[in-house]
Amino acid sequence: MRIGVIFIAGVLLTACHKKEEPKVVVPDVFRVKFQTSQGDFVVEAIRAWAPHGVDRFHELVRMKYFDQGRFFRVVPGFITQFGVHRDFNVHEKWRTMFIADDPPQQKNVRGTLAFAKTDPGTRATEIFINLVDNQALDDQFFVPFAKVIQGMDVVDKFYSGYGEMRPEGKYIDPTRVEGEANEYLTQRFPNLDFILHTQFVP
């Protein structure tokens, strides 16, 4: 009898605990500071531009997904890309948690951020920053969801000596980036710049 009472009490406590968990409401507009190996830059995310993309970005920042991640694809005159988790086990899980596509509302102009994708419906965690106006990416339906509002000069400094990834380039193997994350990148490409911390700012 006593065991039954304890069990019921435990169930009730668990239920109460679940009810107390606050539901996250993503603001219409919010800012995130990226502290990096080159300095800080600030991004402003605008939900009206791409609600699915902004919701995912907010989720990843909350869980510190980007912290210690590398800017593994830096192509001058094109883009800087990041969004592979430092731990390949975590990235393996999240890389297939795709979000629905957002209809394009903005252009891929310099300083805007958009999720990388291979096909429709394949946006997950990887994000690029446009280093120039990239009209070709508009034609391919890459959808900006945020923009750099401070520190674009920092973004311009990220190390680009390894160039484009294979097969166009000759150094960084995208398959190994996805499969091994920092275990591959930090040992073989020590000059890559990286994210120290991300945090929401007023």
46 assigned to some structural domain: yes
Position 201 scores a pLDDT of: 97
Q: Locate tokens 């007023």: which residue?
A: 202
Token pair, residue 39, equals 């300095």
Q: The domain containing residue 53 runs over which residues?
A: 25-201
Q: Locate tokens 């000069």: which residue?
A: 153
10 assigned to some structural domain: no
**CATH number of residue 38's parent domain:** 2.40.100.10
For the residues of 36-82, what is the DSSP string, one character each? ETTEEEEEEEETTT-HHHHHHHHHHHHTTTTTT-B--EEETTTEEEE
Q: How far apart are CA 87 and CA 181, in angstroms?
A: 6
Q: How far apart are CA 173 and CA 189, in angstroms?
A: 11
141 assigned to some structural domain: yes
8 assigned to some structural domain: no
Q: How far apart are CA 158 and CA 79, in angstroms?
A: 11
84 assigned to some structural domain: yes
Grouping H, G, I as helix, E, B as strand and the rest as coil, residue 18 is: helix
166 assigned to some structural domain: yes
3 assigned to some structural domain: no
Position 20 scores a pLDDT of: 59
Token pair, residue 96, equals 């297939």
Position 10 scores a pLDDT of: 46
Q: Could you list the pLDDT tens digit for every one of the 202 residues in the chain?
A: 444 444 444 444 444 444 556 788 999 999 999 999 999 999 999 999 999 999 999 999 999 999 999 999 999 999 999 999 999 999 999 999 999 999 999 999 999 999 999 999 999 999 999 999 999 999 999 999 999 999 999 999 999 999 999 999 999 999 999 999 999 999 999 999 999 999 999 9
Number of structural domains (the chain) is 1
Position 73 scores a pLDDT of: 98
**At residue 55, what are phi and psi to the nearest 5 degrees?**
-60, -40
1 assigned to some structural domain: no
